[in-house]
Structure 1
Amino acid sequence: MSQRSRTSRHVLTAAAATAVLTLTLAACGSGSGPAHGPAMPGMDHSGTPSPSAPADDMASMPGMDGSSAGNGLAAAQHGYRMTSATAALPTGRASAYRFTITGPDGRPVTGFAVDQTKRMHFYAIRSDLTGFRHLHPTMAGDGTWSAPLAALRPGTWRLYASFTPDSGSGKGESLVLSRTVKVPGTAPVSSLPKPSGSTTVDGYTVTVQGEPMAGMAHRLTATVTRDGRPVADLQPYLGTYAHLTAFHQGDLAFAHLHPESEADGDHGGPVLNFHAEFARSGDWRLFLQFRTGGRLHTAALTLHVD
């Protein structure tokens, strides 16, 4: 074989290897990647009915964390598990939801890192994306967390625990796990409001801007005004000036939204920037929480993600 033939053969072999490597990397990167306030009685925002994914059952199967774990739809992820003996909550009265986070060794985790001033953030959302709750449970010495919930409307609710282990194999890793509970009785379901860039709550108008795309990190900007004038007296809340949470219509996937700056004084606003990652396209229900005059406000709007 001539020197020129051998050279051509080497080039073709290298090109083929590069193509295989490229396809392998693309396949590895194709998965989807994966925030707080007292329970607010009577808070019930509009949403549309959507069945919850049966992630509790998937997560309980040996060796399976569930493919939806990074979206907060599974009870287990990377060896950490959210466990609870509660499958139903009472109708029409306040109750406490108790749960435990166990680690890869099967023991209750008691060491949690502080994230936005809290060691545990807890969320509750009804299957039609109404009744949003966001609070901070307390932990007993044995690792059992207790989340005090105001009365919930009948239906299926998904309860999320957002935390970061402070030791062990998951140290420093932000995790979101969830389970579902039933509240007995019947109640009307609500239709999800159409996507809109703004909403008004307690006299404040919140406008959200951005062009998010599924599977990519983007910036979302929220602006708070009142009577057409910028609001610059937002008070610190959880170490920043606002907190943003979002859930996907259809499966209640949890979006990872983080403020881009911390509170650096007693007054902030009117512009708030967030780092946003939405795992799926479709409509998402956003809940923006901010504080003025010692009062916590929760603005809800629907955002479409391409």
Structure 2
Amino acid sequence: MFAFSRPTARRRALAAAGTAAALALTLAACGSSGDSSMPGMDHGTKAPTSASAQATPSMGDMPGMDHMADGNGLADAKDGYRLTSPDTSLPAGKPSGYRFTIAGPDGKPVTGFALDQTKQMHFYAVRSDLTGFQHIHPAMAADGTWTADLAELQPGSWRMFASFTPDGGSGKGEDFVLSRTVTVPGTAASTPLPAAAESTDVDGYTVTVQGKPMAGMAQPLTVTVTKDGKPVTDLQPYLDTYAHLTAFHEGNAAFAHLHPTTKVNGDHGGPELSFHAELPTAGNWRLFLQFQTGGKLHTAALTLNVG
């Protein structure tokens, strides 16, 4: 079992000193929703013709089984903090709102959260076969109830992740990633995960990931962004960095989060972005890289194999 935590200022300092930054599970919300939604997202990549094995939902993906795993984002409670929600199902094929609350050790809703990458909460919705991905920044009501405004969801089992740092109480300054599952009713056709590939295309851009990560070892990853065969050098800051990279493990959708170590210098990011990654579990991971150009957010997806 492994643990992820979102990068804190301390971890960033360590990374700047040359220490590999640990993969962080981040689920959280930002003040508005819809930063990235990819319902029914096409898995197309520049992959070999052979397809990887079909993702099989684990017990942790089943509604009512949210306590199965701890420390990897697949549990709904940790250290007295609990993700609660009245929503066990959401409608298919139309936008919907997922309501949730973070309860503290005293059982009361938490209303004070520290900023991480300019946001108090990062929230992710991921379908069990990894074909659907949404990264949202929801809004919180005065009573501590968050609402994540989701784009349309396809039928199947979805896991909802919330990533946050309390700004007070016993968990002050500690990074949490908690999740619960919901069911979207209807005929759910499972799509096999695409085979591992070094590159993928999105919105006319080609994203290439170089590196051979090994389970349990800190390894560098380099992401290169090109367009029409030419290096892209106009990446804009997004959430205080040039790219937001998340990864989900095939089979149980365990979540990991990486930040680039590349220094931000205005709207001049690219073409290469450097990441330090420590992926404790071998197997296939589905990577979602988000980057911004010309005020538009792009989300590229590819499969990475960890030995």
TM bucket normalised to smaller: 0.7 to 0.9
For structure 1, which segment, 79-88 or 270-279, has the greater mean C-alpha deviation from structure 2 after superposition? 270-279
User: Using the alignment, how far apart are the partners of 2:102 and 2:58 within structure 1?
Assistant: 21
Corresponding position of 1:266: 267
1:40 aligned counterpart, secondary structure: strand
Can you list the C-alpha shifts for 1:133-165, whole angstroms capped at 9, x where unaligned? 011011011111100001100000001001111
User: Using the alignment, how far apart are the partners of 1:262 and 1:80 within structure 2?
Assistant: 34
1:297 to 2:298 alignment: yes
* 1:50 partner amino acid: T
Q: Which of the pair is proportionally richer in helix?
A: 1
2:147 aligned counterpart, secondary structure: strand
1:210 to 2:207 alignment: no
The 5 A counterparts of 1:219-238 are: 219-238=220-239
Can you list the C-alpha shifts for 1:106-140, whole angstroms capped at 9, x where unaligned? 11111111111111000011111111101101101
* 2:108 partner amino acid: R
* 2:164 partner amino acid: F
Question: Aligned to 2:56, which of 40, 50, 60?
Answer: 50
Q: What is the aligned-residue identity percentage?
A: 64
The 5 A counterparts of 1:92-111 are: 92-111=93-112
Change (3 A) 1:301 1:217: same
Change (3 A) 1:262 1:160: farther
Where in structure 1 are there 5+ consecutive unaligned residues? Answer: 1-30, 61-65
User: Using the alignment, how far apart are the partners of 2:293 and 2:40 within structure 1?
Assistant: 18
Corresponding position of 2:35: 38
Change (3 A) 1:143 1:43: same
1:277 to 2:278 alignment: yes
* 1:101 partner amino acid: I
1:286, distance to aligned residue in structure 2 (A): 0.2
Relative contact order, higher structure (CA 8 A, sep 6+): 2
* 1:274 partner amino acid: F
How many pairs align? 270
1:212, distance to aligned residue in structure 2 (A): 1.4
Can you list the C-alpha shifts for 1:187-220, whole angstroms capped at 9, x where unaligned? 3221111001111111111111112122233221
Tell me, yes or no, if the aligned pair for 1:215 and 1:278 is still in contact at 8 Å: yes
1:142 to 2:143 alignment: yes
The 5 A counterparts of 1:1-306 are: 32-34=2-4, 35=26, 38-40=35-37, 42=39, 44-46=41-43, 48-54=54-60, 57=64, 68-306=69-307
Where in structure 2 are there 5+ consecutive unaligned residues? Answer: 5-25, 44-51
With normalisation by structure 1, the TM-score equals: 0.83
User: Using the alignment, how far apart are the partners of 1:95 and 1:123 within structure 2?
Assistant: 14
Corresponding position of 1:17: none
1:59, distance to aligned residue in structure 2 (A): 5.4
With normalisation by structure 2, the TM-score equals: 0.83
Structure label with greater radius of gyration: 1
For structure 1, which segment, 51-60 or 86-95, has the greater mean C-alpha deviation from structure 2 after superposition? 51-60
